Chains A and B, each alone.
Chain A
Amino acid sequence: MKEFPPKWIVTLLRFFFKPELWESIEGDLYELYSHEVGKLGTRRAKWRYLVNSLAFFRYHRLRQYSKTRNQMDLFKNYLKVSIRDIRRHRVFSGINLFGLVTGFTVLLLITQYTLFETGFDQFNDQYDRIYRVINDRYQNGEQVQHGAITYPTIGPTLAKDYPEIETYTRLFIGGRNYLHSNNEQFLIQGNLYADEHFFEVFDYEILEGSREDALNESASIVLSESYASRLLQSDEQLHDLIGHEVIVNDWDFPCKITAIMKDMPAQSHLQTDVLISYKTFIRLAGDGADNSWQWSDYYHYIVLSEGTDMAGFSQKLEQFGDKYFENGEVSGAEEKFSLQPLGEVHLDPAMEYEYATVTDGQYVWLILLVAIVIMLIAWINYINLTTSRALERAKEVGVRKALGAFRKQIFGQFLTESVILNVMALLMSFVLVVVLQPVFSDLSGLPLSLSLFVTSSVFGLPFPIIFGLVFIAIMVIIGIYPARLISRFKPQDVVKGKYSLVGDLVNMRKFLVISQFTAALILISCSVAVYRQIEFMRSQDLGMDMTNNLVMYGPDLTDFDSVYISRFESFRSELMSKPMVQSVTSAGRLFGDKMPRSFMFRSSADPEQNDITSNWLPVDHGFTKQFAIDVLAGRSFDRSDYHTNGGRVNTAMINEAGLSQFGFDTKEEAIGAKVLMADRNREYRIVGVVSNFHQRSLKENIEPIIFFPFYDNSHYISVKYTSGMEELVIKASNEIFTKFYPGNYFDYFFMEDHFDANYQSDEQVGMISAGLTVIAIILAILGLYGLVLITLLKKTKEVGIRKVLGANLAELLALFGSQFMLLIGAAALLGVPISYWIISAFLRDYSYSTGVEWWVILTAAFGIIMMCVLTVLLQTNRITRNNPVESLRYE
Chain B
Amino acid sequence: MKGTNIGELEELVLLVVANLFDNAYGIGVKQEIEEKCNRSITISTVHNVLQRLQEKDYLESRYSDPAPERGGKRKLLFRVTPSGQSALENSRSMRESLWKTIPKVAFER
A binds B: yes
B27 adjacent to A31 (CB under 8 Å) = yes
Within 8 A of B (CB), among A22-49: 23-32, 34-35
B25 adjacent to A28 (CB under 8 Å) = yes
Q: Quick check: is A471 within 8 A (CB to CB) of the other chain?
A: no
B44 adjacent to A23 (CB under 8 Å) = no
**Chain A residue at minimal CB-CB distance from B71:** A30
Q: How far is the CA of A857 from the CA of B40 in the complex (A)?
A: 71
User: Which of A27, A55, A56, A58 contacts B70 (CB under 8 A)?
Assistant: A27
A58 adjacent to B71 (CB under 8 Å) = no
**Chain A residue at minimal CB-CB distance from B26:** A28
Task: For A31, list chain B residues within 8 Å (CB).
Answer: 27, 67, 69-70
Task: For A34, list chain B residues within 8 Å (CB).
Answer: 69
B43 adjacent to A32 (CB under 8 Å) = yes
Q: Quick check: is A511 within 8 A (CB to CB) of the other chain?
A: no
- Specify the main secondary structure of chain A where it touches its partner: helix
Q: Which of B2-10, B12-20, B73-81, B86-94 binds A?
A: B73-81
A27 adjacent to B75 (CB under 8 Å) = yes
Q: Quick check: is B83 within 8 A (CB to CB) of the other chain?
A: no
Considering residues B27, B44, B51, B76, which has the most beta carbons from chain A within 10 angstroms of its beta carbon?
B44
> With A28-B25, A61-B48, A64-B51 given, is the CB distance from A23 to B43 under 8 Å?
no
Task: For A854, list chain B residues within 8 Å (CB).
Answer: none
Q: How far is the CA of A58 from the CA of B44 in the complex (A)?
A: 9
**Chain B residue at minimal CB-CB distance from A27:** B73
Task: For B30, list chain A residues within 8 Å (CB).
Answer: 32
Q: Quick check: is A52 within 8 A (CB to CB) of the other chain?
A: yes
**Chain B residue at minimal CB-CB distance from A57:** B44
**Chain A residue at minimal CB-CB distance from B67:** A27
Q: How far is the CA of A52 from the CA of B71 in the complex (A)?
A: 17
B74 adjacent to A23 (CB under 8 Å) = yes
Within 8 A of B (CB), among A347-401: none
Q: Quick check: is A65 within 8 A (CB to CB) of the other chain?
A: yes
User: Which of A24, A29, A52, A64 contacts B76 (CB under 8 A)?
Assistant: A24
Within 8 A of A (CB), among B25-77: 25-27, 30, 42-45, 47-48, 51, 55, 63, 67, 69-71, 73-76
Q: How far is the CA of A21 from the CA of B74 in the complex (A)?
A: 11
A30 adjacent to B43 (CB under 8 Å) = no
Task: For A21, list chain B residues within 8 Å (CB).
Answer: 47, 51, 76
> With A23-B76, A65-B51 given, is the CB distance from A52 to B26 under 8 Å?
no
Counting residue pairs across A and B whose Cβ atoms lie within 8 Å, the total is 62
Considering residues B43, B45, B69, B75, which has the most beta carbons from chain A within 10 angstroms of its beta carbon?
B43
Within 8 A of B (CB), among A47-72: 52, 55-56, 58, 61, 64-65
> With A24-B25, A31-B70, A64-B51 given, is the CB distance from A52 to B44 under 8 Å?
yes
Q: How far is the CA of A55 from the CA of B44 in the complex (A)?
A: 6
> With A24-B75, A31-B27 given, is the CB distance from A52 to B69 under 8 Å?
no
Number of B positions contacting A (CB below 8 A): 21
Task: For B26, list chain A residues within 8 Å (CB).
Answer: 24-25, 27-28
> With A32-B27, A52-B42, A55-B42 given, is the CB distance from A27 to B47 under 8 Å?
no
**Chain B residue at minimal CB-CB distance from A29:** B43
* B91 CB → nearest A CB, Å: 23
A26 adjacent to B43 (CB under 8 Å) = no
Q: How far is the CA of A170 from the CA of B73 in the complex (A)?
A: 62
* B52 CB → nearest A CB, Å: 8
Task: For A29, list chain B residues within 8 Å (CB).
Answer: 43
**Chain A residue at minimal CB-CB distance from B42:** A55
Q: How far is the CA of A65 from the CA of B48 in the complex (A)?
A: 10
**Chain A residue at minimal CB-CB distance from B45:** A55
**Chain B residue at minimal CB-CB distance from A53:** B44
B44 adjacent to A30 (CB under 8 Å) = no
Encode A591-614 as 1/0 by CB contact (under 8 A) with B.
000000000000000000000000
Task: For A27, list chain B residues within 8 Å (CB).
Answer: 26, 67, 70-71, 73-76
* B83 CB → nearest A CB, Å: 20
A23 adjacent to B71 (CB under 8 Å) = no
Q: How far is the CA of A64 from the CA of B56 in the complex (A)?
A: 13
A28 adjacent to B51 (CB under 8 Å) = no
**Chain A residue at minimal CB-CB distance from B74:** A23
Q: How far is the CA of A26 from the CA of B70 in the complex (A)?
A: 8
> With A24-B26, A52-B43 given, is the CB distance from A30 to B70 under 8 Å?
yes
Q: How far is the CA of A31 from the CA of B73 in the complex (A)?
A: 10
Q: How far is the CA of A56 from the CA of B48 in the complex (A)?
A: 8
* A406 CB → nearest B CB, Å: 32
**Chain A residue at minimal CB-CB distance from B47:** A25
* B78 CB → nearest A CB, Å: 10
Q: How far is the CA of A28 from the CA of B70 in the complex (A)?
A: 7
Q: How far is the CA of A270 from the CA of B44 in the complex (A)?
A: 53
Considering residues A21, A24, A34, which has the most beta carbons from chain B within 10 angstroms of its beta carbon?
A24
A23 adjacent to B47 (CB under 8 Å) = no
Task: For B27, list chain A residues within 8 Å (CB).
Answer: 28, 31-32, 35
* A771 CB → nearest B CB, Å: 49
Encode A1-35 as 1/0 by CB contact (under 8 A) with B.
00000000000000000000101111111111011
**Interface on B for A, CB 8 Å cutoff?**
25-27, 30, 42-45, 47-48, 51, 55, 63, 67, 69-71, 73-76
What are 29 pairs between A and B in contact, CB < 8 Å? A21-B47, A21-B51, A21-B76, A23-B63, A23-B73, A23-B74, A24-B25, A24-B63, A24-B74, A24-B75, A27-B26, A27-B70, A27-B71, A27-B75, A28-B25, A28-B27, A28-B43, A29-B43, A30-B73, A31-B27, A31-B67, A32-B27, A35-B27, A52-B43, A55-B43, A55-B45, A61-B48, A61-B51, A65-B51
Given contacts A24-B63, A64-B55, 4 further A-B contacts (CB under 8 A): A24-B25, A27-B67, A28-B43, A52-B44
In the A-B complex, the 8 residue pairs with the smallest Cβ-Cβ separation, listed nearest first, are: A27-B73, A24-B76, A28-B26, A27-B70, A55-B44, A30-B71, A56-B44, A23-B73
